[in-house]
Structure 1
């Protein structure tokens, strides 16, 4: 077995938990013949970190309670040389010691919340673990749809008119928010700011529908956004692979749904199968749009990727008025469902090759980072120990004497 341990991290405390599991299983299956020892890191819905071979089999996820009993708690740590390891924190026998695995690289396969918003990436940074995909900055900005659009708007990238509000504002002054929606003009689209997979997304034709949609969406996020609906609408997606210094774009796709606004069911429970993640969705590849529009979307995708300082792979989603071909940036997905491998197949790259490319990017980026000076030799603490702390104690003593 290879000594190069590749950790695949997935699950998480997120409404997109199951989608993350599907993506992770696709990653694991694609790398079965690769020269890596795959170590699963499953974050349960309650936030427990678990590892173990039972987590590698898709059928075991039919009973999550039983699966958690079979898995082993784990955490990140360092070995005696300071290198990052995945440490099992539970002994299997009286005379056994917890297993530990050195980490060659890690692939985050989370969707939504703490796994995709930069929080988990920050943990990897703290432990100096090479990880695939975007860093903390791009991940956090990409997850917040409002801030993402603010940044694009500031750089003259077209976005749909809209506004956002928090639950506390809705409770305090619902009427003012409804007036803003009325000024936009119905129909409008309501979305949770920090979620993906179309969870909590609704189209409202009038005020009563919007009120109902708001109450539902607050179950998932305290921050919601309302946007003017683009109609007649087509959605076009494009994937970008690489770094800000060396990148390439995929062909464009047009996801197909029952309505103008794609639902969770359209994306993950289409007739093509429910165990293939985003790969099961009905779509048109390449999208049947003009060459001019295709090039414009690919160019904007590169621009946003660089603007956010993204890395690895991302999927850029755009909204288009099919009558006028007016184009609007919708969102950037820094960990796209199924890693958008189906878009790269059109360029002759299968999922295994795509994953190997992501690992190479991750390790290369990590080497460049750790190759820099990361500490600064100084006698500051010695000086403070002699002067600062004693002086502070003296000051405290003097104050108490007074």
Structure 2
């Protein structure tokens, strides 16, 4: 097979599974007329790895059970030369052999939980496969809203006042948590720590609403955060493309929702069942804000992108008091919905050009990595070392006899 096989990986065990499918279909559609052969890697809701032509068509996802039966199980493996391949693990027919695809690069299009949190990126690292987007560190840090804000706070980047707690703490000492929320001051926002797409995010104006919101959010995550609500709220987002040594920022956008706090429905269902993902959400581009605020957001976005050691494309979300214009970092999305291509269109870069740029960044980063010394020329398993280990065993036995 061609060495220009581009794997688009998506789905996953995540409440944002369907959102991931939408983003992946946008990537696949944009890359049809390129030099790459697009190979889908779909991870089902149960965690099965699947590939095959039926996974390339959006309409097939209306019946997931039927689609999974048409698809072929697969896995990462190595060929006879030791190079990573995507291997079909079932034969197509009695006389056929499993198909394997050499890998030029992988574009992860996951959202939330496993896939965006660094776990899939770690798998790519283990197989020495080039992959688009942020590395394991930045991906895992970006997924943890608490740790992300801790690091920003430590570097003087403003974040909203709040606290987090685990389900065991809620069960064992609910009253103390409610007291902390009372001291923080209502209204408050409740969020799962490791999810996106506004899933499980709720606003509480008093204690009873907080209790209901917490019980709902624990369905998605064992770790929750409570933050003081910014009122009146204006959300502003900015995308960053590149890597620490060479990056640029997009225009700013102002997402528009039915309430101050954007919901999942505002983000993905505002266009009557559209299949455009985040691109279908109501938004103001460029955001109608002052030049000074725009430059401040773009500057902070670039600083945080570098601070997190992010790569590829990311979207930085900020909360702003609409009256005072006080600015707070909210979160970084290391695999943003629809890859934030709609923000880069304003700079004259279409979806295909954005994807090709991500692949270029991925392959160059991988070349730099494999250019480093990755092993140390010594043998700790020689006869002398083995004798030393045996000696240690003897020492242990003698000591136990004393």
Question: Are the equivalent residues in 2 in contact too, given 1:272–1:280 (CA < 8 A)?
Answer: no
Show the counterpart of 1:379: 379
Stretch deviating more after TM superposition (390-399 or 218-227): 390-399
Show the counterpart of 1:86: 86
Which residues of structure 1 form unaligned runs of 5+? none
Q: Flag the 1:187–1:399 CA change in 2: closer, same or farther, 3 A.
A: closer
Show the counterpart of 1:246: 246
Question: Are the equivalent residues in 2 in contact too, given 1:272–1:282 (CA < 8 A)?
Answer: no
Question: Are the equivalent residues in 2 in contact too, given 1:2–1:35 (CA < 8 A)?
Answer: no
| Alignment of 1:140 onto 2:117 | no
| CA deviation vs aligned residue, 1:20-79 (integer Å, no higher than 9, x gap) | 000000000000001100000000000000000000000000000000000000000111
Instruction: Give the deviation of 1:92 after TM superposition.
Output: 1.6
**What CA distance in whole angstroms lies between the structure 2 residues aligned with 1:380 and 1:13?**
40
Q: Flag the 1:399–1:132 CA change in 2: closer, same or farther, 3 A.
A: same
Show the counterpart of 2:209: 209
Show the counterpart of 2:167: 167
**What CA distance in whole angstroms lies between the structure 2 residues aligned with 1:292 and 1:2?**
49
Question: Are the equivalent residues in 1 in contact too, given 2:3–2:103 (CA < 8 A)?
Answer: no
Query: TM-score when scaled to structure 1?
Result: 0.98
Query: TM-score when scaled to structure 2?
Result: 0.98
**What CA distance in whole angstroms lies between the structure 2 residues aligned with 1:295 and 1:247?**
15
Show the counterpart of 1:309: 309
Show the counterpart of 2:363: 363
**What CA distance in whole angstroms lies between the structure 1 residues aligned with 2:385 and 2:90?**
41
Aligned residues between the structures:
402
**What CA distance in whole angstroms lies between the structure 1 residues aligned with 2:96 and 2:271?**
48
Show the counterpart of 1:296: 296
Instruction: Give the deviation of 1:390 after TM superposition.
Output: 3.2
Show the counterpart of 2:16: 16
Question: Are the equivalent residues in 2 in contact too, given 1:314–1:334 (CA < 8 A)?
Answer: yes
| CA deviation vs aligned residue, 1:180-215 (integer Å, no higher than 9, x gap) | 111111100000000000000001111111100011
Show the counterpart of 2:65: 65
| CA deviation vs aligned residue, 1:129-185 (integer Å, no higher than 9, x gap) | 000000000000000000000000000000000000000000001111011111111
Which residues of structure 2 form unaligned runs of 5+? none
**What CA distance in whole angstroms lies between the structure 1 residues aligned with 2:82 and 2:342?**
39
Q: Flag the 1:230–1:393 CA change in 2: closer, same or farther, 3 A.
A: closer
**What CA distance in whole angstroms lies between the structure 1 residues aligned with 2:324 and 2:398?**
77
Show the counterpart of 1:178: 178
Question: Are the equivalent residues in 2 in contact too, given 1:273–1:280 (CA < 8 A)?
Answer: no
Show the counterpart of 1:218: 218
Show the counterpart of 1:343: 343
Residue 131 of structure 1 aligns to a residue in which SS?
Answer: coil
Show the counterpart of 2:198: 198
Show the counterpart of 2:25: 25
Show the counterpart of 1:45: 45
**What CA distance in whole angstroms lies between the structure 2 residues aligned with 1:398 and 1:70?**
62
Instruction: Give the deviation of 1:3 after TM superposition.
Output: 3.9
Show the counterpart of 1:258: 258
**What CA distance in whole angstroms lies between the structure 1 residues aligned with 2:170 and 2:397?**
53
Residue 381 of structure 1 aligns to a residue in which SS?
Answer: coil
Residue 315 of structure 1 aligns to a residue in which SS?
Answer: strand
Residue 380 of structure 1 aligns to a residue in which SS?
Answer: coil
Q: CA RMSD in A?
A: 1.4
| Alignment of 1:271 onto 2:291 | no
Show the counterpart of 2:333: 333
